[in-house]
Structure 1
Amino acid sequence: MHTERVETQLPWRAPTATGPLDAALRLPGSKSMTARALVLGANSAGATTLRGPLRNRDTELMAAGLRAMGCHVSTADDGLWLLRSRPLQGPARVDVGLAGTVLRFLPPLATLAEGAVAFDGHPRSRRRPMAPLLGALRTLGARVEPGGGLPFTVHGVGRIGGGPVTIDASASSQLVSGLLLSAPEFDRGLVLRHVGRPVPKPQVDLTVHMLRSAGAGVDDSRPDVWSVEPGRLKGRAWEIEPDLGSAAPFLAAALVTGGSVTVQRWPPATSQPARRLLDLLHRMGGEARLTPRGLVMRGTGKVRGLSASLAGVAEFAPVLAALAAVADSPSHLYGLGPAWRDETADGQDGQEGLARLAGALAALGADVTVEADGLRVRPRPLRGGTLPTHGDRHLAHAGAVLGLTVAGVDLDDVACTAKTVPDFPRLWSTMVFGYEGGSADAEARVRRG
């Protein structure tokens, strides 16, 4: 068994498989669940624990923002985090970095603090749409200065009236989730109505599910309307599921190589958009089976073309497009345009995101045509080359998948994958070559047959 260190110097050469894979791996915790559990814990009486959280830059920024406002957050143990809520207070400064969850989830919480809470972050975060959220907070009774984006300051008085509010959350589902997560602490709760293009439902559904699990009364029976009753939540223990979105490239690896990949700890029921992912991979030739060891994905080495809407699951588009590039027939992936912003990359609009994906695949010789809300991919022989990731982990995942079957694929930036899988290069190489190891951050446990 090889034990040498897997190097991650840039550009990173994606490993090429020499035969069918037979691997089992353990993915890190869900970033989405970790972020929501932290905010709910800050809104709850008593202690909250997170078992198996994701430790990465985004969740560290979330924990730091909560500490700045007065919460006790212990992250010393990678496997078990502890949070105790205290009266929130300013003055405080919150660095959102590039984390959309911190940018959208903490301002509503800051309205419940006594004092001023200032927000700023990476220059790219200043491009992200915030006017709908900040306008909603003003409507609900908060004082937020200045305009509609970073930097801004929330001047809290320890409480907020709440009640009905209407927003256009087309730009990001996080605008809805951010308001919902703190709504139980609003004096009159919240009745939130969305107008505009449909928001991706999986992430909002996850927010509603976790709110209910924490004891909140939530009515989402009407389309685009969410009603949250006022009431104090109680701290609880959260078991953070694996990040099933990050499973996409690993499961796709089974299809490309005609092998078997097992994702351990796959939950039998989840609010993550796992079913859609498995359905799409099945249509492209994969066979998934839930076993006591985890979810087993098997491929035949033959990938089928796909015509499907990816509305609501835009994050899977790059990996599916990569599979389409090596399929046996053309593919049409649509329903992507408006959903691309924030669901897949930092602040770019739909056409920009689609163009970047098409350009990344074209760098390896793929035949990709960009349409108004999607892509058409026509398979043809690919070649090695440098795939530009533009700092988007999903494009890096696509390049890694193609590298399994195309020799000489280099990623200009593999570090961007750390957003959800802190040790992706090592975990991926271990899956392909069978090196033992993986960092504690990635909680990698890989078996090779």
Structure 2
Amino acid sequence: MANLTATRAPLPWTAPTATDPVGWTVELPGSKSMTARALVLSAIASGPSTLLRPLAARDTELMAAGLRGMGPHVSTVNEGRWVVRPRPLAGPAHVDVGLAGTVMRFVPPVAGLADGPVTFDGDPRARTRPLGPLLGALRAIGVRIDSPTDGLPLTVHGTGKVAGGEVVIDASASSQLVSGLLLAAPEFERGIVVRHVGPPVPSAPHLRMTVQMLRAAGAAVDDATPDVWTVEPGRLSGRGWEIEPDLSGAVPFFAAALVTGGQVTLVGWPHRSAQPVDRLRALLQQMGGEMTVTTEGLTVRGTGVVHGLDADLSDVSELTPALAALAALADSPSRLRGVAHIRGHETDRLAALARELSGLGADVTESADGLEIRPRPLRGAVFETYDDHRMAHAAAVIGLAVPGVELTDVACTSKTLPEFPALWSAMVTGTS
């Protein structure tokens, strides 16, 4: 595959405007969340694994490269079938996390199992993303870590083993802080008991995905007590992972169906999913769409009228930018709340959305944990993407109805979907 970790130049892009309802069937690559977890579990398993239809994008290639640098064989030559063969974990090694929260939070616990030092650093913005609670938890179970700022850059001084045990953590900034500990825990000498203390952990579906995938690999996991997760020590089995299409990546395309009164189908959708499809269905229905699952896939239909939304999005915060874009085009005000933690994502998404939507003419009030959006006539303008793929998605959605929305950089979508500009333009123009 292409080198997705290299420094790239910004790519300005004018979002195409739809003149007709879209009618589109799209096949998207695999879920970033499932691909990342499958890579980690495969790297510490007792035998080889395959990932079928994984996501080939910057975040997942960085994850593969980081694990590969510590010893496991991770082949991404065949984009539809990645192969992972575990080998003893060792340093010295260096992990470039880019701007990927999964890499910066899932790989340090694995590095604790390596025999030798492993250094971590990434893009400038990555140095401000929440990491301290994870580092504190790792230190509490016997991992030596040098980090002057309790964030990136850092060095994990692995000794080939981690004692494990019980830790208390405030994971209110990101569910990945818990998932990172759980994914590596079967290899800890005593496993782990993670107790969360603090405001609610966001993105609960992602934690459920972590638990489901650990169990699928053979781990004994107890999550029956709220805010407590126990993973027993034991060897994981290598296996074949069938990666579902990326639901979060599909949301901008589904939003296009609502904005234009069209229909978009995501093919290859499983009948049972680890991703929050029921929650997304409810949100889109409230905004005027209809979602159905058929033998063809997951289909969303719109009427051309978008309704405002009052919703707590704490469990599906990745959807906030696309839903905010829909809200700016709605027929009534919206209130999106429960997402204070997305201030620590690729950018401060609440501040960025408030600034850029206001620049297009929307009436937006930024609160501590969300946005209030009162629709007004919008106009074309430059839309700063902040090196954030979800901000680019939001701009593209608005551009469907508002001519002249000019993204400062659409190439940032390579983080999770390098094909986004081409797929989006093909959908709007009805070409293939």
Q: TM-score, normalised by structure 2?
A: 0.95
Query: Which residue pairs with 1:3 in the alignment?
Result: none
Decide whether the 8 Å contact of 1:141 with 1:161 is kept in 2. Answer: yes
Query: Which residue pairs with 1:378 in the alignment?
Result: 374
Q: How many Å apart are 1:9 and its aligned residue?
A: 8.4
Query: Which residue pairs with 1:57 in the alignment?
Result: 58
RMSD: 1.4
Query: Which residue pairs with 1:170 in the alignment?
Result: 172
Instruction: Please tell me the residue identity of whatever aligns with 2:327.
Output: A
How far, CA to CA, are the matches of 1:412 and 1:219 in structure 2?
46
Q: How many Å apart are 1:243 and its aligned residue?
A: 0.7
Matches within 5 A, 1:25-40: 25-40=26-41
Query: Which residue pairs with 1:151 in the alignment?
Result: 153
Q: TM-score, normalised by structure 1?
A: 0.91
Identify if the C-alpha distance between structure 1 residues 407 and 9 changes in structure 2 by more than 3 Å, giving closer, same or farther: farther
Decide whether the 8 Å contact of 2:164 with 2:188 is kept in 1. Answer: yes
Q: Which moved more, 1:115-124 or 1:240-249?
A: 115-124
Query: Which residue pairs with 2:269 in the alignment?
Result: 266
Q: Which moved more, 1:120-129 or 1:21-30?
A: 120-129
Runs of 4+ in 1 over 6 A off after TM superposition: none
Query: Unaligned regions of 5+ residues in structure 2, if any?
Result: 1-8
How far, CA to CA, are the matches of 2:368 and 2:118 in structure 1?
40
Instruction: Please tell me the residue identity of whatever aligns with 2:414.
Output: A
Matches within 5 A, 1:261-410: 261-337=264-340, 339-342=341-344, 345-346=345-346, 348=347, 352-410=348-406
The C-alpha deviation readout for 1:237-278, integer Å capped at 9, x for no partner, is 000111101111100111110111111112222121222112
How far, CA to CA, are the matches of 1:98 and 1:354 in structure 2?
18
Q: How many Å apart are 1:434 and its aligned residue?
A: 2.1
Query: Which residue pairs with 1:134 in the alignment?
Result: 135
Query: Unaligned regions of 5+ residues in structure 1, if any?
Result: 1-7, 437-449
How far, CA to CA, are the matches of 1:203 and 1:289 in structure 2?
23
State whether structure 2 residue 239 is matched by structure 1 residue 236.
yes
How far, CA to CA, are the matches of 1:382 and 1:127 in structure 2?
33
Query: Which residue pairs with 2:194 in the alignment?
Result: 192
How far, CA to CA, are the matches of 1:211 and 1:179 in structure 2?
12
How far, CA to CA, are the matches of 2:165 and 2:10 in structure 1?
52
Matches within 5 A, 1:7-46: 10-46=11-47
Instruction: Please tell me the residue identity of whatever aligns with 1:170.
Output: S
Query: Which residue pairs with 1:419 in the alignment?
Result: 415
Decide whether the 8 Å contact of 2:10 with 2:411 is kept in 1. Answer: no
Q: Which moved more, 1:270-279 or 1:283-292?
A: 270-279
Q: How many Å apart are 1:128 and its aligned residue?
A: 2.0
The C-alpha deviation readout for 1:194-228, integer Å capped at 9, x for no partner, is 11111121211111111111111111111111000
The C-alpha deviation readout for 1:335-371, integer Å capped at 9, x for no partner, is 122x2144xx32x5xxx43121011111211111112
Q: How many Å apart are 1:426 and its aligned residue?
A: 0.2
Query: Which residue pairs with 2:6 in the alignment?
Result: none
How far, CA to CA, are the matches of 1:255 and 1:185 in structure 2?
46
Decide whether the 8 Å contact of 1:171 with 1:341 is kept in 2. Answer: no
Query: Which residue pairs with 1:430 in the alignment?
Result: 426
How far, CA to CA, are the matches of 2:279 and 2:243 in structure 1?
20
Query: Which residue pairs with 1:85 in the alignment?
Result: 86
How far, CA to CA, are the matches of 1:314 and 1:277 in structure 2?
11
State whether structure 2 residue 253 is matched by structure 1 residue 250.
yes
Decide whether the 8 Å contact of 1:172 with 1:341 is kept in 2. Answer: no
Partner-residue secondary structure (3-state), 1:119: strand
How far, CA to CA, are the matches of 1:321 and 1:122 in structure 2?
26
Identify if the C-alpha distance between structure 1 residues 367 and 422 changes in structure 2 by more than 3 Å, giving closer, same or farther: same
Q: How many Å apart are 1:174 and its aligned residue?
A: 1.0
The C-alpha deviation readout for 1:362-420, integer Å capped at 9, x for no partner, is 12111111122221111221111111111121121111111111111111111111111
Q: Which moved more, 1:312-321 or 1:70-79?
A: 312-321
Q: How many Å apart are 1:81 and its aligned residue?
A: 0.4
Partner-residue secondary structure (3-state), 2:292: strand
How far, CA to CA, are the matches of 1:86 and 1:407 in structure 2?
53
Decide whether the 8 Å contact of 2:17 with 2:399 is kept in 1. Answer: yes
Partner-residue secondary structure (3-state), 1:383: coil
Partner-residue secondary structure (3-state), 1:263: strand
Decide whether the 8 Å contact of 2:133 with 2:170 is kept in 1. Answer: yes
Q: How many Å apart are 1:56 and its aligned residue?
A: 1.2
Matches within 5 A, 1:108-123: 108-123=109-124
Query: Which residue pairs with 2:72 in the alignment?
Result: 71
How far, CA to CA, are the matches of 2:108 and 2:370 in structure 1?
33
Identify if the C-alpha distance between structure 1 residues 164 and 274 changes in structure 2 by more than 3 Å, giving closer, same or farther: same
Q: How many Å apart are 1:142 and its aligned residue?
A: 1.5
Decide whether the 8 Å contact of 2:343 with 2:350 is kept in 1. Answer: no
Percent identity, aligned pairs only, is 63
- Given candidates 195, 209, 213, the residue that maps to 2:212 is 209
Partner-residue secondary structure (3-state), 1:333: strand
Instruction: Please tell me the residue identity of whatever aligns with 2:47.
Output: G
Instruction: Please tell me the residue identity of whatever aligns with 2:19.
Output: T
How far, CA to CA, are the matches of 1:146 and 1:19 in structure 2?
54
Instruction: Please tell me the residue identity of whatever aligns with 2:279.
Output: R
